[in-house]
Amino acid sequence: MESRKIVVVVEEVEVARTALQWALHNLLRYGDQIILLHVFPSTRSRNNKKQRVLRLKGFQLALSFKDLCDKILDAKVEIIVREGDQEGMTISAMIREIGASDLVLGLHDQSFMYSLFSGWPWRTSVLQTTYIAEFLPLSSL
DSSP annotation string for 12-79: SSHHHHHHHHHHHHHT--TT-EEEEEEEEEPPSS--HHHHHHHHHHHHHHHHHHHHHHTTSTT-EEEE
8-46 per-position pLDDT tens digit = 999 988 888 988 998 898 888 889 999 999 999 887 777
At 64, the pLDDT band (50, 70, 90 cuts) reads very high
- Domain over 5-140 is classified CATH 3.40.50.620: yes
Model confidence pLDDT, tens digit, residues 90-136: 888 888 899 888 888 886 555 555 555 455 443 333 333 333 445 55
- 0.75 exceeded by pTM: yes
**What is the distance in angstroms between the CA of the first residue and the CA of the last residue of the chain?**
21
